[in-house]
Structure 1
Amino acid sequence: MRQAAISQAGLSVQRDGRRAVLRSLPDEVPVAMVFNGTTQAVMMASPADLCDFARGFARSEGIVETVDQIETLEIVEHDAGIEARMWLADDRGAQLKARRRALLGPVGCGLCGIDSLEAALRPLPCVTASLHLDASEVAHATDALRAHQPLHDQTHAAHAAGFLQPGQGIVLAREDVGRHNALDKLIGALDARGLDPASGAVVLTSRVSVEMVQKTVMAGIPALIAVSAPTAQALRLAQDAGLTVAAFARGGGFDLYAHPERIIDGERHVV
C-alpha cells in the first residue's frame, strides 16, 4: 500500500546560507471512485483511509443515503493510481445514472467537471438537529484539532477535518492534501464508527466554501467550525439549510454567521 508521506532530499536556501535537508512530504495519487463498474470521479488524494474516503464521498455526494447501501467495497491498486470499487444496492444504482458526472481536477477539487451549473448548487435538505455547543469549545476547536494532525506535523502540507462533540472535544479526525477529501474521509469514518453525525460539529483547517457546506449538510452534521473565512454563497446555502457556521475560529475567538442558536455562552445562546 502506498504511504501518505515520503522522504525527499532537497536543498534549503535561507538568508544565512544553504543546507541539505531530508523532509517528509505528503504523497498524492489519482483515486477513482467507481460505482457499479463505472468511474464517477477521479481525484488527487492522500493514499490513506481510502475506505473512509469512498464511503464518505458516496454519502456526501448523495449517491447513497446510508452506508449499508454499498454492498461491496474494495480498494484496488494500479501502477497509475488506485480504484475504490463499490457495488450499490439496486435502487441506488438506478438513481446514480441520473447523476452521472466525470471529475478530473487538481488536489481536493470538489466541483471540476460537474455536468451543469444547476448541479453545482443542488438543493440541500434542512438540518434540524438541536445540537448545543459551548462558545469556549467553538473558540478553541481548531487549536484542539492540531493534536490530531500527524500528517501535517510530518509535512506541513495537509488539511484536517475533525468531529467535535460537546464536552468531549475532538473525538475523530482525518487528514488529506485536499480539504474536500479530508471532510469526505471524516464523514466515512463517522459511519464506520457508528457515530451519529447530528451529535457534533465539523472542524476544518480550511475556508468554508460551497462544497464544504454541501458535504456537511448532506452528512446530517448541524454545525461547521473553520479556521478561515466563508464565502458569501456558502453562507447563503448554510442559512437556507439550517447549518450553523462559525468561521475565523482561532486565537480564542470566532465569527458566527448562520444559525447562532446552537452556540451557548454559559446558560445563554449566542445571538
Structure 2
Amino acid sequence: MSLVAPVTIQKITGSSLIEVPDLLAVEEPLEIRLGFGPVDDRQQRSVAVTMRTPGHDEELAMGFLFTEGIIHKSTDVISCRHCVQDSAKEGNVMRVELNPDVVVDWSRLTRNTFTSSSCGLCGKTTIDAVMALTPGPIDADFLLEPAVLHALPDRVRETQRAFAYTGGIHAAALFDADGKLLLIREDIGRHNALDKLIGAAFWQNWLPLSQFGIFLSGRIGVELVQKSWMAGVPLLAAVGAPSSLAVQMAQEAGITMAGFVRNERFNLYNKPERVSLQQPLSV
C-alpha cells in the first residue's frame, strides 16, 4: 500500500479557481489479532483496531503490544504477518502469533482506553496504571547540547517523505546525544508513528532506549509519554506543546520533556539537567 493517494482539488487564490492534482496521506484501519495459548489449544483474539497510514505494520503491532505490556521480549513472538485469507481485508489485518509460554493478561488492554480524552479516568489513575508496568523512574546517564535539539526539526523534516507530499502526517524520530538520527517512522496518527518506532527498536533488541531521545513532530499527549516510558526513553522532545497530564506523567517517569522545539527555542518542563545549559536556569 502507498503512503499517499492522488486526488484532484479545486484551488482558490483570491477569487480565482484552478483544478490541480494533489496528494493526501492514506488512512486505513489496521486490526491487530493475537494467536495465543498452548500448542494443543491455540486461540485467536482481536485486540485493537487503529486508523493508520500503511507501512511498517509489523513494527506498529509490536510497538503497540510492547507498550501495552502484552509482550516483553522478541522471543515472546513467533511470527507477525498480514492475514490474507479475507481478500476484503487483505493488508489491513495483522496476526501476531505468541509463544505458547506467554500468558496474556487481558486486563492490561483495558488501560488503552485512557488515550481517549473523554474516557473519564483521572490523571492519578492513568499514571498509576502505567507505573504498574514499568520498573520505575528512568535513571539514565544521558546529556546533550541545546544545539542538538535546535537542529532536530529541520533534520527530521528533511527525512519525511510522506509529509513532503501531503503536509498531513506525523513523524517520530530516535536520536542519540550527538543528534544522529537512527530511526524515523511516519503515520497519520501520532501514537502510531511512535508505536512503529518503538516496534522497530523492539525487533532489533535495542530496548530499553536509555541512551537515546525521541523527537515528535506534533504535540505531546499523555499516551506518548506512556509509550516512551515503557521503552525507557530519558528525553522526549516535540515541535508542539505538552498537555498537563503529559508533564505530570513525565515527572513521575523521570523523563526530560522539551516542548515547542522550533525556531532556535524550546521549553523544558522537567529534568533540565539532561540538557547542558551554559547559564543557570532562572524564573
Q: For residues 108 and 98 of structure 2, what CA distance do their matches in structure 1 show?
A: 14
Aligned 8 A contact 2:115 2:222 in 1? no
* Residue 270 of structure 1: how far off its partner (Å): 6.6
| Structure whose residues are more often strand by fraction | 1
TM-score computed with the length of structure 1 as normaliser? 0.88
Q: Identify the residue that residue 140 of structure 2 maps to in structure 1.
A: 129
Q: Is the counterpart of residue 147 in structure 1 residue 158 in structure 2?
A: yes
AA at the equivalent of 1:56: G
* Residue 103 of structure 1: how far off its partner (Å): 7.6
SS of match in other structure, 1:224: strand
- Higher Cα radius of gyration: 2
User: How many pairs are equivalent?
Assistant: 264
Distance 1:237 1:70, change over 3 A: same
Structure 2 segments unaligned to the other structure (5+ residues):
36-43
Q: Is the counterpart of residue 253 in structure 1 residue 255 in structure 2?
A: no
Moved more, 234-243 or 68-77: 68-77
SS of match in other structure, 1:133: coil
Q: For residues 61 and 141 of structure 1, what CA distance do their matches in structure 2 show?
A: 28
Q: Is the counterpart of residue 68 in structure 1 residue 78 in structure 2?
A: no
* Residue 115 of structure 1: how far off its partner (Å): 10
Structure 1 segments unaligned to the other structure (5+ residues):
none
Per-residue deviation, residues 73-104 of structure 1 (Å, max 9, x unmatched): 11125424611111223453x23323244989
Q: Identify the residue that residue 108 of structure 2 maps to in structure 1.
A: 99
Distance 1:80 1:113, change over 3 A: farther
SS of match in other structure, 1:198: coil
AA at the equivalent of 1:88: L
Q: Identify the residue that residue 45 of structure 1 maps to in structure 2.
A: 52
Q: For residues 66 and 206 of structure 2, what CA distance do their matches in structure 1 show?
A: 14
SS of match in other structure, 1:208: coil
Moved more, 77-86 or 170-179: 77-86
AA at the equivalent of 1:157: G
Per-residue deviation, residues 203-262 of structure 1 (Å, max 9, x unmatched): 001111110100000111111001111111111111011111011100011100111121
Q: For residues 72 and 275 of structure 2, what CA distance do their matches in structure 1 show?
A: 28
AA at the equivalent of 2:21: L
Pairwise CA RMSD: 2.6
AA at the equivalent of 2:236: L
Distance 1:120 1:41, change over 3 A: farther
